[in-house]
Homo-oligomer: A and B are copies of this chain.
Amino acid sequence: MATHNTDLPAGESPASSRAKIIETAEPLFARQGFAGVGLREVAERVGLGKSSLFHHFPSKVKLYAAVLERVLVEFDRRLSERERTAGTALARLHAWADAGVDTLAENPTFGPLLLRSLFEDDILAPPERDLVDAAFDRIVARISRTLEEGMASGEIRELSIPHTIQSLIGLTVYPFASDSLGQRLLGSPIYSAEQIRARKQHLFEFIARGFSVP
């Protein structure tokens, strides 16, 4: 009865325009950052007039927030798939590192966007900011819980949980944000199958060695 067509082809991208705009803006924000992207460019790529964007998002900031939230939620979802891994805490951390690298490797915008969301803090304001923070907190809580569990059971050595989380981010997310440096350093793109495998192995070894009891 609505004037809008809410009945969808089922299976076909309902996406409306909203999802399409988010997907189009995502790589631009990832590469250029919030300030570096103009809505004109986004609109052009979507195939809309600039003003039409404002029908779907009331402001540029809210579009950016929508992009970030989608990334964080998806990243968290990918980790959650491994929540019930094996028995030991260390095995779960290993599985999460594996899932994290897979997710970053499959989505080249995720590394830069996640990194930006972590150190460019003066873009989002309280209303949208809270959504992004909440998504991030879920990820942190997930890891913290398992670290505590492992330390309690004596499986993992005593270490500072916040510093460990920072280290895990630095070891996992950062390398997938620095694509060009990675390429210069490694000789081949970090997004190549070969380097993804190498990165995983490197990361796993650091986790195993860094976390095991003395």
Contacts and interface: CB of A to CB of B under 8 A. Distances in A.
A198 B119 contact: no
A33 B31 contact: no
Contacts of A118: 177-178, 181
Consensus secondary structure, chain A interface: helix
A206 B187 CA distance: 26
17 contacts: A112-B119, A118-B177, A119-B178, A119-B181, A159-B202, A160-B198, A162-B182, A162-B187, A163-B175, A163-B186, A163-B198, A163-B202, A167-B171, A170-B171, A170-B172, A171-B171, A209-B210
A200 to B, nearest CB: 10
Q: Which 10 A-B pairs have the closest CB atoms?
A: A170-B170, A35-B36, A170-B174, A121-B180, A162-B185, A35-B35, A163-B202, A119-B178, A119-B177, A209-B209
Given A31-B122, A119-B180, A163-B198, 9 more contacts: A32-B35, A33-B33, A162-B182, A166-B174, A166-B182, A166-B185, A170-B172, A170-B174, A209-B209
